[in-house]
Structure 1
């Protein structure tokens, strides 16, 4: 072998070539009497640094870059760069090690924001009456999760609540950041309800509601309230931004009316268009962006 051959092969030893070690620790000679080929494309490639072994075993958890990519933040390749730059923490500790593995229950954060390793999902359901939103308080009672399980296997949760007998729009997501934002919006969320009362609403009470109703010493601002065209005066349309529980029922009860039917027809710009009762659909990318701007 020429001097040049030995030089170029120093950092590019193929399997079974000169320089490999036997189990006894001694170097074996060339096998089969063949000559070593020069490496053209990778002859000058830098030696990759040795990676430190993750404290988790190779079979435990998933690689951190895959976890980040699954959350939708960026690609796995970009995730490696962010990890190396110190943008990622696991359980409060900055991690810069390539190949680090994490468990699903670990607290993984990117620039301080906690990540979800599942692909974000956003599902809008037109809830029927008779389905509980949370829990199963009555034996044999049904929950909205039965309806959602037909369209997703991800662990999604409802944003806000609707009573058992209430109908209408209900949003589900596994995006904890958005869910938290919608649960405590700075300026509230636009909602429109179709309400059926146990008796006709007087024009005087309609005006009282329009001016705002005080509940527990706090004024509830009503954006709009009106009779529904060509319907009896016990059917009302009401728009507001409050996210307090049972707020619509409490408004009418404070004036001596009982709500017999409650249907949320608009939620944060989302409508029931082309969404029949009991059916659900995934939000469009633009709808998700719009919700994030509320």
Structure 2
């Protein structure tokens, strides 16, 4: 062989199989070039050693959804999505592939200063669910505030209109704990939007120290460490 060829062409000739099947093997992470996994069908090879993993399976690769624990103040959380930041205890069992980091749609925005769960998806069904049913999906957020929270302040947090009498999303707020001059509140809100929690806390005279989103719909963040991500499992639904 005197001229480099596409890896998909070499794999198709080695197996043999169709070019489309060769691309599926390559994008599925089953092909090695000189011992290194290569996932790009267009990768050029000349006289390198090309091998197919003995456990290779020919199958369509479904779209994935990634759940990221965004650290507080992270300006560009999409940069945290890589194989290096994949949670090692991810229970999904999905093999990490390069194609999982392309064509991701960010969903359910979060305040830049807050930490907590973000959703990135390749699946149009997930995107439609989180977009069209945004007002019906409950999110859960924990908020640490300065000082103690009175019963009157707690009631003010849940007032369903703003200062002009305009309706607000329904806010359910409860006091989790209070110690050392700090209180921890738990909010459950349907139809939340960035700035809403900050607004109701300011209205109640409460200074926010930290904010974390821990659940979106029926999907909790659980033990996912800050700065790491996991796959949405097949049995999880927002």
Instruction: Identify if the C-alpha distance between structure 1 residues 148 and 215 changes in structure 2 by more than 3 Å, giving closer, same or farther.
Output: farther
Runs (5+) with no aligned partner, structure 1: 1-65, 71-116, 133-142
Structure 2 partner of 1:179 = 127
1:204 corresponds in structure 2 to 152
- Aligned-partner SS, 2:197: helix
Structure 1 segment 231-242 matched on structure 2, within 5 A: 231=179, 234-242=183-191
Residues 31-65 of structure 1, C-alpha deviation per residue, up to 9 Å, x if partnerless?
Answer: xxxxxxxxxxxxxxxxxxxxxxxxxxxxxxxxxxx
1:130–1:233 CA distance, 2 compared to 1 (3 A): closer
2:106 alignment counterpart: 158
- For 1:272 and 1:121, the matched residues in 2 are separated by 17
1:246 aligned to 2:195? yes
Q: 1:236 to 1:149 in 2, by over 3 A?
A: same
- Give the CA RMSD over aligned residues: 2.5
Query: What are the within-5 Å matches in structure 2 for residues 16-165 of structure 1?
Result: 119-132=62-75, 143-150=76-83, 151=86, 152-165=100-113
| Greater RCO, CA 8 A, separation 6+ | 2
Q: Secondary structure at the match of 1:196?
A: strand
* Alpha-carbon shift at residue 167 of structure 1 (Å): 0.5
1:285 aligned onto 2:218: no
Q: Contact between 1:214 and 1:220, CA under 8 Å: does it hold in 2?
A: no
Q: CA deviation at 1:186?
A: 6.4
**Shift in CA distance, 186/229, structure 1 to aligned 2, threshold 3 Å:** closer
Structure 1 residue 156, shift from structure 2 partner: 0.9
Deviation at 1:130, TM superposition (A): 2.1
Query: Paired residue for 1:22?
Result: none
Task: List alignment gaps of at least 5 residues for structure 2.
Answer: 1-19, 25-59, 87-99
Q: Which structure is larger by alpha-carbon Rg, 1 or 2?
A: 1
Cα distance 1:215–1:243, how it changes in 2: closer, same or farther (>3 A)? Answer: farther
* Residue equivalent to 2:118: 170
Residue 262 of structure 1 deviates from its aligned partner by 0.6
Q: Give the drift of 1:183.
A: 2.0
Determine the C-alpha separation between the residues in 1 that align with 2:178 and 2:194.
30
Conserved 8 A contact 1:227-1:233: no
**CA–CA distance in 1 between the matches of 2:129 and 2:184?**
32
Say if 2:138 is the partner of 1:190.
yes
Shift of 1:281: 0.6
Question: Aligned equivalents of 1:177 and 1:270: distance in 2?
Answer: 16
Q: CA deviation at 1:225?
A: 1.5
2:179 corresponds to 1:259: no
| C-alpha distance after superposition, 1:105-143 (max 9, x if no partner) | xxxxxxxxxxxx9731111111111212xxxxxxxxxx1
Q: SS at 1:234's partner residue?
A: strand
